[in-house]
Amino acid sequence: MKNPMLEVVSLLLEKLLLISNFMLFSSGATGEDKGRNSFYETSSFHRGDVLEVPRTHLTHYGIYLGDNRVAHMMPDILLALTDDMGRTQKVVSNKRLILGVIVRVASIRVDTVEDFAYGANILVNHLDESLQKKALLNEEVARRAEKLLGFTPYSLLWNNCEHFVTYCRYGTPISPQEVGSAGCPLPSLTFSLSRE
């Protein structure tokens, strides 16, 4: 039988080693300022719009709140390690994001459009066409997003930025890639996102 205390200490040491190798606490990590100089015409965005940013292997989603602000779910390892808002509010580097996915910790946070898009093009309300679902009123969408701000569990498959956005926009947290042939949303998501 293994010693549980030894397993806990071993796990903590592994996490500390991982953190020290990635130098998560350095403020000038390379790549963190990518896209900061991009300009986005936000006058065409409306409060409650779904903003979609295509990436190489995935798409990132957020809800436009107005005044150049976007609410979006972002995995971040620092949320598990510190309560220092100064560190956790900085743009999430790729290292922080990947480690956040691994430890399943995220926040629904508000960033500028520039920080959210990270230099990529933005599609607006593209999900309305692909899902062929009726969207809630934009003000209701934005209110739902604002109500969910803060710390949340994360799952790449069951509770990610797409689930957050579809819950706010359509009332049901789904991911088009995970909808079965009958078009039924995954039932486990309602509990994790509902904070009403």
Q: What amino acid positions are annotated as catalytic residues?
A: 161
Q: Are 45 and 31 in contact (CB under 8 A)?
A: no
- The single residue listed with the structure tokens 């309602």 is 190
Q: Are strands 69-75 and 59-66 parallel, antiparallel or unpaired?
A: antiparallel
Pairing of strands 69-75, 105-112: antiparallel
Q: Are 193 and 162 in contact (CB under 8 A)?
A: no
Side chain identity at residue 185, one-letter code: P
Task: Please name the residues in contact with 83: beta carbons below 8 A apart, sequence gap of 6 or more.
Answer: none
Q: What are phi and psi of 152, to 5 degrees?
A: -155, 150
